[in-house]
């Protein structure tokens, strides 16, 4: 595959909108020592995925560990049964920007060392049933300056604002099913 023959790659965006793509080989075999920005979006297929303890979750974390220069990560698998987003302590030592698609039936697994460095966080929420987990993670993001969040109910804006007083820019993405009316986004 051509991607494996690009050792100086610094930015990679893989977007799969019309067909699914088997990404397990990329996470298990690829290595780009200078990779700084990585975007992976679409109908992503992983081998051997178990919703709770999938092998692919480990493969993804191993990929993060190998790519220690990564500063910006945009990881949005559309498959609700896909791998959970996992990062272990020591992974992603230079990460500053993180965009993920989170499903509340899975834990939001961000280690303290990663949480402390995040300055830009974009969170696409699949299910808004357990907000406390998100509030706790945001409260720990003391370097956070920019937040984009989806599916956050209007009646919970106060709790969000209280935990991120240092925020400079805040945007809400209108949920697919909404009680927000014509609301599109808010910036502070």
* 17-26, 130-139, 150-159, 175-184: least confident range: 175-184
Query: Where in the chain are the domains?
Result: 2-173
Separation CA 179–CA 188 (nearest Å): 21
Cα separations (Å) of 90 from 61, 64, 67, 148? 10, 9, 11, 25
Determine the Cα–Cα distance for residues 89 and 94; give it in Å rounded to an integer: 12
117 in Cβ contact with 89 (< 8 Å)? no
- The mean pLDDT value for 60-79 works out to 85
Is 80 exceeded by the pLDDT of residue 43? no
Higher-confidence residue of 168 and 126: namely 168
Rounded CA separation 71/37 (Å)? 6
Phi, psi of 163 (to 5 degrees): -90, -10
Residues facing residue 172 across a β-bridge: 149
pLDDT of residue 8: 93
- Predicted TM-score of the model (pTM): 0.78
Q: Which long-range contacts (CB under 8 A, 24 or more apart) does 103-107 make?
A: 103/127, 104/128, 104/129, 104/130, 104/133, 105/51, 106/51, 106/52, 107/133
Indicate the fold that domain 2-173 takes in CATH.
Answer: 3.80.10
Is the pLDDT at 181 greater than 60, yes or no? Answer: no
Contact criterion met (CB below 8 Å) for 76 and 101: yes
């Amino acid at each position: 595959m051509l991607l494996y023959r690009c050792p100086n790659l610094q930015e990679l965006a893989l977007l799969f909108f019309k067909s699914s793509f088997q990404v397990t080989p990329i996470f298990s075999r690829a290595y780009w020592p200078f990779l700084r920005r990585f975007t992976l979006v679409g109908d992503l297929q992983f081998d051997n995925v178990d919703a709770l303890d999938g092998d692919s979750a480990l493969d993804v974390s191993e990929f993060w560990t190998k790519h220690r220069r990564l500063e910006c990560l945009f990881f949005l698998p559309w498959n609700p049964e896909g791998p959970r987003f996992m990062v272990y302590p020591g992974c992603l030592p230079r990460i500053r920007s993180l965009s993920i698609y989170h499903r509340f039936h899975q834990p939001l697994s961000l280690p303290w060392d990663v949480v402390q460095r995040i300055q830009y966080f974009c969170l696409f929420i699949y299910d808004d049933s357990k907000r406390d987990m998100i509030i706790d993670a945001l409260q720990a993001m003391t370097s956070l300056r920019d937040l984009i969040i989806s599916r956050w109910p209007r009646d919970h804006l106060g709790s969000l604002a209280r935990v991120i007083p240092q925020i400079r820019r805040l945007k809400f993405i209108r949920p697919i099913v909404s009680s927000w009316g014509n609301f599109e986004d808010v910036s502070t």
